Amino acid sequence: MRLIHALNKHCKSTKVAYTFDAGPNCCLFLESINVPLILAAINKYCKLQSDLIEQVTVCSAACEYKNLKNLIKEEQENLVLFESMNGEENNEIEPMEDAVKDIFLSCVGAGPVIAERR
């Protein structure tokens, strides 16, 4: 949650929102244009397993991006997020161990369709 708040503050607008399912799983909601930025922040500050970003970049929902892996790398190079305490930005966020176990990238479908009866 600290990471999401810091990222939105860094961007000076809400780029990503979060909620939790019935268990401990955090679900992020964002526009597709912000996917590389959000994945860059997660990759940089959550110490992901080395193959996790690779898995995300080859999933079917990532097909709209020409080269998602490079976009993430570019976003990550200059990204520095700070924690806010008492309304002031303090230290850079410390990378977190084992904060993210898996990432599922999906998108909104085409909407309802009328199925033909046979």
Which pLDDT tens digit goes with each residue over 16-26? Answer: 999 998 888 89
Beta bridge partners of 16: 30
Is pTM beyond 0.85? Reply is: no
Q: For the chain, what is the domain count?
A: 1
Answer yes or no: are the C-beta atoms of 6 and 83 closer than 8 Å: yes
CA distances from 87 to 6, 28, 33, 82 (A): 12, 24, 28, 12
Structure tokens at 21: 């399912």
Reported as a pLDDT band with limits 50, 70 and 90, residue 65 is: confident
- Classify 74 as helix, strand or coil: helix
Q: Establish if 63 belongs to a structural domain.
A: yes
Q: Establish if 74 belongs to a structural domain.
A: yes
Beta bridge partners of 27: 19
Q: Establish if 115 belongs to a structural domain.
A: no
Q: What is the pLDDT of residues 71-100, one digit of tens each?
A: 999 999 999 998 876 666 678 888 998 889
Answer yes or no: are the C-beta atoms of 28 and 17 closer than 8 Å: yes
* Containing structural domain, residue 85: 2-92
Q: Establish if 104 belongs to a structural domain.
A: no
